[in-house]
Structures are given as structure tokens and as C-alpha cells.
Structure 1
Amino acid sequence: MSAAVESTVADTPVSADRPDGRRRPPPLLRALPAVLALVLLAAAPFFLAPFATTVLGRVLVFALFAVSLDLLVGVTGLPSLGHAAYFGVGAYTAGLVSVHVTSEGVVPVLAAGLAGAVAAAATGWLAVRSSGVFFLMLTLAIGEIVFQLATTLDSVTGGSNGLYGIPAVRLGGTPLTLAGYVYWFVLAVTVAGFACLWLVSRSPVGGVLRGIRDNEPRMRSLGYSPFRYKYVAFVIAGAFAGVAGGLFAAQVRLVTPSEAGFTTGALALLAVVLGGAGSLWGPVLGAAVVVLVRDALGPTLDGHGPLVLGIVFVLAVYLLPRGFAGLAGVSGALRRRRAARGGAT
């Protein structure tokens, strides 16, 4: 039955019209904001100081981490509190590969993504069999286990002191020591990772994941296996969380157990909620708010950055229940209402 449904969906022509009857803009015009944002990000080191460039790089790293979590929370409907476990696994893996093997190019980052995927595959087969509060608590337990392992395995992770002395990323044998070069490396990998997650979200697999999120019994009756699809989403999200962790290790060159701790996972979930779950681009804005308040404004707030983040979260819940991404939906609804009024007159 599922094959017949997929065939029917594939054969259905997609209308180029909006619900209000207007024509959709061409693909190139719709992609223009993303292209402009990418150009501005690429040009940022020419206009920003080294510290500001480094902070912007941290925004990109945390944005990729938040978007990988959004694949679970917003697309699949699996809210996780332990996603930082795979971020930490990726960070430690990239650091160890850089120290003991090579720091050339994307090798440590790819190793970090593979480690994140393996860790997610090893733990996800149990986690995705649950749902709701049980899933939330299982992922929290997984995160705490990884955090404790990172703290106690001194010979591997450096314990509470962290893994330090990570060499700089090398391209063609040349170490990237300037903040701008490291930033461009982070930007390139982040854009590639975001593109991959966007393609997954827009693919038939992403459509099935949204169907499972909205009505799992119906998708099961159509012949889909919710466990199989949720498990695949869990592994993919873990892999890109590992990539984000690898980028973190490449930029900061120090990995501590806190990277795999509850606070990191909670901040990523906060970024997803602030940006708007399910939109993918919304968590990027949410991550920017979290990192800017924590890293850029934190030192000027006498350590009250977490308090400010809490206030921002409360205001967002009341004023933006769908996050920043919901603003686009509100503006679209207003345009459709004005068009409907114009048609009525």
C-alpha cells in the first residue's frame, strides 16, 4: 500500500500557485535571501575584529548542532535532552585524531561525524523504541553516561581538565592559525552540513518523518515502519552533531566534559524552540541569540548571561510561540487575508 501511496504522490503535479492564488516566485528568487546571507557571512572576516570573527564561528558551529537536533525535535517529533552526547563524542574524536593521527583538512571532522553516527546507532536502537517523556528521560540518561565517561577516562579524555593541545587545522600542510581562515573553514563545513540536513528534510524520507510526527498510527497502517525511520533520523542527527563537535574542537582546540553535558544539550534545545522547531533555518537564528548572549554579552553582564537567556526564552514563549520562523507564517497569513479582502471587494 505504501508503494501505491508514494506513486500517487509522485505523480501528482505540484502547483506553482500559493493558497491566495498568487504565483510563487521562481526558485532563483526564493534562493536569493540565502545567497545574500552566505555572501555576507563569507565577507564577515574582512569587516569584523578577530574576536568577533571567532564568536561568529561559534555561532555557526552551534547552529549546525541545533539544526541537527531540529531534525529530531521539529521534523521527527522526538524531543531530546541528550543530543550533546554526540556533540561531545565528535569533539573528542576530532581532538584525538588531530593529536595522534592528523589534523589535515576535514579528516578529523569526518572522523567526528562517523563517531557521532556510531554512537547514535549504538544508543538509538533503544531510545527510539520509546516516545514522549520516556524518550526524553532515556536521552537524558545517555547524555549523562557520556558526560561521566568523559570525566572519568583521564587517560583518553584528560578528565575534568579536558583534552588540550589540539593542533590547528592544516590545509595542504599549512596550519590555519588566523581567526579568519579558521572561520572560513568552519563556514564551508557548516554550509555543507546544513545543505545535507535540508535535503534530508525535503526528501521523501523527510516527508515520512513528518507524517510519523503528526500521526504515527496512520503511517504504520500505510505500511511504513516508524521505528526504522526514526532510527535513521536519530543516526543522521547524531552524525551531524558529531560534525559540529569536530568543528568545535578545530576552532577552540580544547574539549572538556561540559561539551557532552546537560547544559550544552539544553542550550541547543533552547535554540530550536527560539528559532522555531521544524523550520531548520529558524534554529540558526536561535543559535545566534544563545551564543551572542552567552559569549558576547555574557562578560559584560557580570555573569548574568543565563538569567538573560531565561528572560529571552520566557518572552519568546509568550510573544513568539512558534519561534522566529513563525514570523514568516504570520506575515504570509496577513498577506493572504489582505488578498482575500481585496478579492471580496
Structure 2
Amino acid sequence: MSAATGPVTPRAIAIAVALLLLLTLPLWITNAYYVNIASQILFFAVFALALNVLVGYGGLTSLGHAGLFAMAGYTAALLLGRGHGHLVADIAALVVTVATAAVYAVLSLRATGIGFLMITLAIGQILWGIAYRWASLTNGDNGINVATRPAPFGLSLSGADGFYYLCLAVFLACVATMAVVVRSPFGASLRGTRDQERRMAALGYDVWLIRFFAFLLSGFWSGVAGLLFLYYNQFISPQVVALTTSAEALLMVIAGGTATLLGPIVGAAIVVIMKNVVSAYIVRWNMVLGIIFILIISFMPDGLVPGTARFWAWARHRLRHGAPKPQDADGTVPAETATPATTKEGGA
């Protein structure tokens, strides 16, 4: 490796291997069911990354993001049902979702902490009530069916492989966007509002406006995930707007690790696999998921990804330096276990 390009780090190797595995996944997983599971993991990871903007980097815990997730799906489904094309429906859905996120922000940013959580929960429940009760628009519990999937550039997305690659492209775009935002001055200011709100305000930063733009970013990617969910199922119903969806997304973020890019992805994989794979073998899979979550919070309070990284750092340190030698009460090393360099005879 030349000096211009620099050494190849383990992180770069891990990213390259992960990309290779993702790009070739339909080749070594030939079962369409498991390819579809991978697609679910990808678009729920986008949803979790969107929520992580607020929870992890903004310090604002939302329990109403299912409303944003479903708003995009319902808007696109209604427009498609009225004869509009996929492009018009999708653009309109994202615009409506971002506008809804702006309303969320104006109402909920009046408070922080438990107050913010309760306001987002209330708004989410209002949207659920509209989806459930306004049957003349949303078809109530019967939901709305979507007959076709889009075909960008003439590429068919009707099969499992084609839709997987669409989800992968959107997922990579989302991760790249989040990585740029996190490392940008805006990302630094957002973390500043999380850690030192008063100090940021004293320095002249508009804390409310920073959080408002973070909400819009979170709403946009929640809408993108909602569109992928709609086209994956080709159906949407009030169940998508329910509190359970918001709670599962929050569980993905917390279990994987907040304020990290990898954490929400790992959390999404755990929840989706438990719901769709483990549930086929274990009836009470909800209890197993709860136990896993309790274990993560008990032994890795920061989440699975930061906790695992800390564990490996500790393990490498122990392997390199060995276990610490026993000490007396006064902190000195006993003579029988001391090395020559620590005894009087061998001292410097």
C-alpha cells in the first residue's frame, strides 16, 4: 500500500466485506423467503436510523414515529388508488410526511424529556385514530391494497431479488447521508443541544431550530422507509400506525446502541429476525425478545454495538498485557510474585 493511500484499517476491511456480502446476498441465499427477510431488515434499519437522529444525536425520545412511517404509505396508497403514477405518488408522500414532521416538531419541541415523549405519543395516537375511524378515506381496518410496485428505469421489482436491491440502494444512501450529517457542523451542534442545551443557547445557537431541522431529516427518512414498507407488503392498514410500531423502532435503536450508525441496523436485524424467523419455532417469541432486551440493558447499557466494542477492547488489553499482579493492602507487589525489577536486589 502506497503512502498516498495510507494503510488499510480493520474498519475499512470490515466495511468492504459487509458490502460484498450485501451485494451478493441473493446469490448465496437462494430462498426467496429469506431474501425478503433481508429486505425487511434493510428498510426497518432505515426507519431506525431515522429515529436515531432524534433519540441518539438529539436526546429526544419519540414514541410517535409510526405516524410518520405510515403517513408516507397511506399518502402513496391513496394517490395510486386514484390513478396517479408511482413517481407522483412517492414524491407527494415524502412531501406530506416532511410537512407532518414539521407539525410534530412545532407541537412537541415545546418540551423535552418525558414531556416530548408524551406529546409525540399523543400525536401518533391521533393519527392512528384517523386511520382507524376515517373509513371513507382509509378503508378502516380493511386497509388499502396497492396493485403494483414501481419499475424505475424499466427494472422490475416484482421479484424478491429486485426489491432487495432497491432496499439495499436506499439503505446505503441513508447510511451515507447519516454519516455525512453526523460528521458535519450540524451534527456537532445537534449533539451539543443534547449534551449542553443551555451552553449552546448561550453561545448563540438556535437550539429549537437545530432540533426542528433534525426532526425534518428524521421525518424524511421515516417516510422513505414507509414507502418501502408499503411496496413490500403492497398493503397498509391502521396496524402500521399503532404504538407497537413506534415501540419496536425505539427498541431497535436502544438495543443496538444510540448515537451510532451500526447500532440501529443491528437492532433492526434482531427485531425482524425474532418476528419472522424465531417466531416460527418459538410461540412466545415476544418473551424471548424481552429477555434479550433486558440482558442487553443490564450488561451493555449503551447498547449492543458500543458494549461489544468495549468488551473486545478490554479482551485485547488483557491478551496483550496479561492479568494484573496481586497487590498488598498498601499497593506494593508481594516479593514472591514480584519481578526482579520490583525487588530491592533488582531495583533500579
Whether the TM-score (by the shorter chain) exceeds 0.5 is yes
1-structure distance, mates of 2:242, 2:179: 27
Of residues 121, 124, 131, the one that matches 1:143 is 124
| Correspondence for 2:209 among 222, 228, 240 | 228
2:198 matched to 1:217?
A: yes
1:126 to 74, 91, 107: 107
Deviates more, 1:259-268 or 1:89-98: 89-98
Q: 1:269 to 1:228 in 2, by over 3 A?
A: same
Aligned mate of 1:76, from 46, 58, 67: 58
Query: Following the alignment from structure 1 to structure 2, what is the Cα–Cα distance between the partners of residues 208 and 332?
Result: 29
Hey, what does 1:247 align to over in structure 2?
Answer: 228
Q: Which runs of 5+ in 1 are unaligned?
A: 1-24
Confirm or deny that 1:184 pairs with 2:171.
no
Query: Which amino acid in structure 1 is aligned with residue 73 of structure 2?
Result: A
Distance 1:103 1:284 in 2: 28
Q: How many residues are aligned here?
A: 316
Residues 71, 132 of structure 1: alpha-carbon distance in 2 compared, 3 angstrom cutoff? same
Aligned pair in 2 of structure 1 residues 109, 322: CA closer, same or farther (>3 Å)?
farther
The equivalent position to 2:22 in structure 1, one of 20, 36, 41, is 41
- Contact kept in structure 1, 2:156 and 2:162, CA below 8 Å: no
CA contact under 8 A between 2:151 and 2:157: conserved in structure 1? yes
Which deviates more from structure 2 when the two are superposed, residues 36-45 or residues 246-255?
36-45
Pairing 1:286–2:273 present = no
Aligned CA distance change for structure 1 residues 117 and 324 (closer, same or farther; 3 Å): same
- Among 66, 84, 99, the residue aligned to 1:101: 84
TM-score (norm: length of structure 1): 0.85
CA separation of 1:190/1:156 partners in 2, compared to 1, >3 Å: closer, same or farther?
farther
Counterpart CA distance in 2 for 1:72 and 1:329 is: 24
Q: Deviations over 1:141-173 (max 9, x none)?
A: 011011111112223322111111341221344
Distance 1:119 1:181 in 2: 31
Q: Give the deviation of 1:26 after TM superposition.
A: 5.0
* SS of alignment partner, residue 24 of structure 2: helix
Any conservation in 2 of the 1:112–1:245 contact (CA below 8 Å)?
Answer: no
**Percent identity of equivalent pairs:** 36
Alignment of structure 1 residues 1-345 onto 2, 5 Å: 26=7, 30-48=11-29, 49-99=31-81, 100-103=83-86, 108-173=89-154, 175-302=156-283, 304-326=284-306, 327-332=308-313, 335=316
8 A Cα contact 1:93 1:246, kept in partner: no
RMSD (Å) for aligned C-alpha atoms: 2.2
User: Runs in 1 of length 4+ with deviation above 6 angstroms?
Assistant: 336-342
Deviations 1:47-80 (A, max 9, x none): 2210000011001111110111111001000011
Query: Structure 1 residue 331: deviation in Å?
Result: 2.8
Q: In structure 1, what is the equivalent of residue 326 of structure 2?
A: none
Structure 2 gap segments, 5+ residues each? 1-5, 324-340, 342-348
Distance 1:191 1:330 in 2: 28
- The residue type equivalent to 2:290 in the other structure is G
Shift of 1:329: 3.3
Q: Is the 8 A contact 1:95 1:166 kept in 2?
A: no
- Tell me how far 1:340 sits from its aligned partner: 8.4
